[in-house]
Structure 1
Amino acid sequence: MSQTARAPRSRRSTNRVTMDDVAARARVSASSVSLFLRNPEAVSPRIAPRIKQAIDVLGYVPNLLAGSLAAARTRAIGVVVPSLGNAFFAATVAAMQKEFDRHGYQLLLGATDYLPGREADIVRTFLSWSPTALVVTGCRHDDETRTLLRSARAPVAEMWDLGEQPFDLQVGFSHHAAGEAMARHMVEIGARHVAFIGARMDSDVRARQRCEGFSRTMLDAGIQVQVKDVAGDASPKAGSHALAEMLESTPEIDAIACSNDVIALGVLFEAQRRGMVVPHQLRVAGFGDLPFSEECVPPLTTIQPRATEIGLRIAQELIERAEQPAEEIAPRIVDVGFELVVRASTLAAPDQDVPV
């Protein structure tokens, strides 16, 4: 019976590269390396490249836990979002990360998948790392999460929504107002048989708020809204199936607002399959102003939620709070607003006649 020769195992060196090693290679003080890691822009342009090169050559990795033992804080920011696949939150997180990177902070990211109990679990895990700050989505939390956030020894930012009593910081806009703005537009263009399509509005609080604002404003104008809450995630398929079901029971529908652009895209697809001309026979609007919204046929009327601005403002505000005593900064609400973007899916061009 033959035996296969085995090469002797190599053992990794246990000698960890230290900040002093980086300082020696870059010919600077350890305090300069420490400053570079915290805030690269604060280091002289003459020596910053040397420190960066030394870090790269030596493969230096800062020991964040050791730093937290001295400062009782890691340079980590915990961020909780409902979904990692949602383009709205992806844009906000990307803007935050870019700004935090400039100041030497790292993101810890967790997704609840719209499950209420998940938020408390993620927040508890993040708090165990002694983060510099926490960012959560929305202003509505269960009792367990609220208790954790109130007891956090770090600033807490709530994003994408506005409430009355922020823990420390809220950056977002009114979703009720966004729904109201879309409803006023629909009334102005003559819509009379109106529907609203959303997905999982029992758990997606912000989509439900937009639906409530839309429906209330329509009712004030004497128009009853047919609401369709589809099961599962928002998708073109969900929008397509929702329109098909609605037309079976209410063929006179002449306008549909959707909780996001992805659902609205499915409504456009289904309308085209049925030979319905948008916007002459059916007006369609979404929410989010996603990259495809301006390029689909016809271009989609939507609400632009300023997702990037939300992320940037949160990062700037939290960095400021991290560098000042907590008692010197009062709770703050930042309303970034939104924009109603009217395109051809609800408003025909002046020279475009209604087909006969």
Structure 2
Amino acid sequence: MPTDSPSHTSGSKMIDVARMAGVSRVTVSRAISHPELVSPETLAQVQAAIAQLGYVPNLNAGSLATRRSRIIGAIVPTLSNAWFAETMDGLGEVLEARGYQLLLGQSRYRDAGEEALIDTFIGRQVDALVLTGVDHGDAVRRKLRAFGKPVVETWDLTDDPIDMVAGFSNEGAGAAVARYLAERGYRHLGFLGAHEHRANKRLAGFRSEAARLGLPDIDTEVVAPPSTIDDGARMLRVLVTRSPELRAVYCSNDTLGVGALLACRQEGWAVPGRMAVVGFSDLAIASASQPALSSVRVQAREMGRQAARMLLARLSDVAGTPMPAVADLGFSVIGRESS
């Protein structure tokens, strides 16, 4: 058996799997450790034999020999928001097809929480890391560069990634919404957001572009993340009380946007006659809302898939076309009834 072959933890042995599948023991080992190097037909035979025999490989044995755990660590701010879930689903989909497993942690929007998870994942000898956002302290950036394994940052862009980045410009998205609303004749704009790095960048782009267009200063209302529908409704009422001239709001996520629509319905404010509302991330709930919520569409699932492809290109032992270090997936403003 090759040195990188996984041992077993069940009664069946690798030779039993090989006999049932009609292949060599080396092929079984390769199908477990490097499925991308085995033909789909052979892989299916081996997997069927493994399932029938109840064979469970001990992956630690292989990782000690190859220095590969075949585990990818990923950190998201929260598991309660669908947009991060879509990215992780896309990431896992591509990784699992190549024999890698996803180990997921949530930082709860705390820098200290992210750093603790990074330490844990590095200590667990993960093969690569996927992070949400590009805003990390100097100590964390030094630690990740010393890690020596692939790192992909997502949900934002930067000219100075730790290693690689797959995302879009949050500032650019905010600026695009300001232009969109201004083109429709709205001048008095507001912003509802969660107080975190990426939402703050959306606000910065929104405010900067509004100023460039000669619009009045943006009034804002923010809440600690994760934000809820109730937060959106409450925050819009606060904003309108403070700034009665307000005619349009940009919300840093669709959850807040749906909350803003709820407040308008409860208060009898016509949408968009009295108040226009634009969200962010274009979840399914946006188009299903009444009225349908305008939003900024980002490629959340494709972001995860792209991150996986970038990691796999670096982890592969087979030479291929090099992946770019920066992948800009872009965004688009989707106009609907609410604006």
- Offset at residue 329 of structure 1 (A): 5.8
Shift of the 274–41 alpha-carbon distance from structure 1 to 2, 3 Å rule, reads same
Q: Which has the higher helix share?
A: 2
The answer to whether residue 264 in structure 2 is matched with residue 271 in structure 1 is yes
State the one-letter code of the partner of 1:237.
Answer: D
Aligned to 2:212: 220
| 3-state SS of paired residue (2:57) | coil
The answer to whether residue 87 in structure 2 is matched with residue 92 in structure 1 is yes
Q: How does 1:38-57 map to 2 (within 5 A)?
A: 38-40=33-35, 42-57=37-52
Which string of whole-angstrom CA distances, capped at 9 and with x for unpartnered residues, describes residues 206-229 of structure 1?
A: 000001100111112222100111
- Residue 208 of structure 1: which of 183, 200, 209 is its match? 200
Which string of whole-angstrom CA distances, capped at 9 and with x for unpartnered residues, describes residues 233-287 of structure 1?
A: 2111001001111222222211010000100101101101111110011110000
**Aligned-partner Cα distance in 2 for 1:121–1:325:** 33
Unaligned runs of 5+ in 1: 1-13, 347-356
**Aligned-partner Cα distance in 2 for 1:280–1:176:** 28
Work out whether residues 145 and 163 of structure 2, in 8 Å CA contact, stay in contact via their aligned partners in 1. Answer: no
**Aligned-partner Cα distance in 2 for 1:78–1:262:** 27
Q: Larger Cα Rg: Structure 1 or Structure 2?
A: 1
**Aligned-partner Cα distance in 2 for 1:178–1:289:** 13
* TM-score, normalised by the number of residues in structure 1: 0.87
The answer to whether residue 24 in structure 2 is matched with residue 32 in structure 1 is no
**Aligned-partner Cα distance in 2 for 1:78–1:92:** 14
Work out whether residues 127 and 152 of structure 1, in 8 Å CA contact, stay in contact via their aligned partners in 2. Answer: yes
Which string of whole-angstrom CA distances, capped at 9 and with x for unpartnered residues, describes residues 285-334 of structure 1?
A: 000100111111111111001111111111111111101499x9687111
Aligned to 2:178: 183
State the one-letter code of the partner of 2:29.
Answer: S
The answer to whether residue 57 in structure 2 is matched with residue 62 in structure 1 is yes
Aligned to 2:124: 129
**Aligned-partner Cα distance in 2 for 1:18–1:129:** 27
**Aligned-partner Cα distance in 2 for 1:248–1:147:** 46
* TM-score, normalised by the number of residues in structure 2: 0.92
Q: Percent identity?
A: 39
More off after superposition, 40-49 vs 301-310: 40-49
The answer to whether residue 241 in structure 2 is matched with residue 259 in structure 1 is no
User: Matched residue pairs, number?
Assistant: 329
Shift of the 73–42 alpha-carbon distance from structure 1 to 2, 3 Å rule, reads closer
**Aligned-partner Cα distance in 2 for 1:246–1:338:** 27
State the one-letter code of the partner of 1:140.
Answer: D
Unaligned runs of 5+ in 2: 1-8
Aligned to 1:352: none
- Offset at residue 45 of structure 1 (A): 4.8
